[in-house]
Amino acid sequence: MHPAPEPRAGLHPLLAARFSPSRFDPSGTVDDPTLNLLLEAARWAPSAGNSQPWGFFTARPGEPEHARVVPHLAPSAARWAVDAGLLVVALTRRHVDGSGLRYSEFADYDLGQAVAHMTVQAQAMGLSAHQFRAFDLEGITKELDPAPGWAVVSMVALGRAADAPPAGRERRALAELLAAPWAPAE
């Protein structure tokens, strides 16, 4: 990867300014109206067949839900995620009632769409988001005990960033987005 040039002219400012903070301001709380707007943004994400196979477990500092989630964070995430105003555990519905019958083959993709909508809404509201998978998946699944057919996939920390976007953020070259997935022609 190489340092990315400035985002292309015309890219929406919310997308151009997006970054994943490595520190959150612990005084940056997420109140109920803000939480509801973040969830509303996720609710309106597109999904295959309008299946909407996503669910969220939210946890804010000082609430009992936070105490359930934090012990399962990996040390690398615990250093910064505990200061976020909101932790969101993202779940997807992969199977019908635990029967093994696939609910939607696009469930993980659709969950990603919902989380993307949530993070863009957060950016529009002056909040930052850091998506991560640095947690004990087995432990948090046991703790939250999702309904049959549902699976924990990832987490998102949301709140007020305590650091500025890094200079010279690295991104793959635009040309690589089209070339990377294809095997050379024979």
Identify the band that residue 79 occupies on the pLDDT scale cut at 50, 70 and 90.
Answer: very high
Question: Is the per-residue pLDDT at 173 higher than 60?
Answer: yes
User: What mean pLDDT do residues 24-36 have?
Assistant: 97
Question: How do residues 97-108 score in pLDDT, each as one tens digit?
Answer: 766 677 788 999
C-alpha 123/C-alpha 125 separation (Å) is 5
**pLDDT the model gives residue 172:** 80
User: What mean pLDDT do residues 114-130 have?
Assistant: 97
Question: Is the per-residue pLDDT at 156 higher than 90?
Answer: yes
- CA-nearest of 59, 63, 56 to 73 is 59
**pLDDT the model gives residue 77:** 98
Break the chain into its structural domains and give their ranges.
20-162
User: What mean pLDDT do residues 25-33 have?
Assistant: 97
Q: Which amino acid is at 159?
A: G
Which of the pair, 156 or 176, is modelled with greater confidence?
A: 156
Question: 57: which strand partners?
Answer: 89
| Fold (topology level) of 20-162 | NADH Oxidase (3.40.109)
Torsion angles phi and psi, residue 36, rounded to 5 = -65, -40
**Whole-structure pTM value:** 0.90
Identify the band that residue 5 occupies on the pLDDT scale cut at 50, 70 and 90.
Answer: low
**pLDDT the model gives residue 10:** 86
CA angle at 137 for the pair 46 and 154, rounded to the nearest 5°? 25
Burial (CB count within 10 angstroms: exposed 0-12, middle 13-18, buried 19+), residue 92? buried
Least confident of 31-35, 145-149, 162-166: 162-166
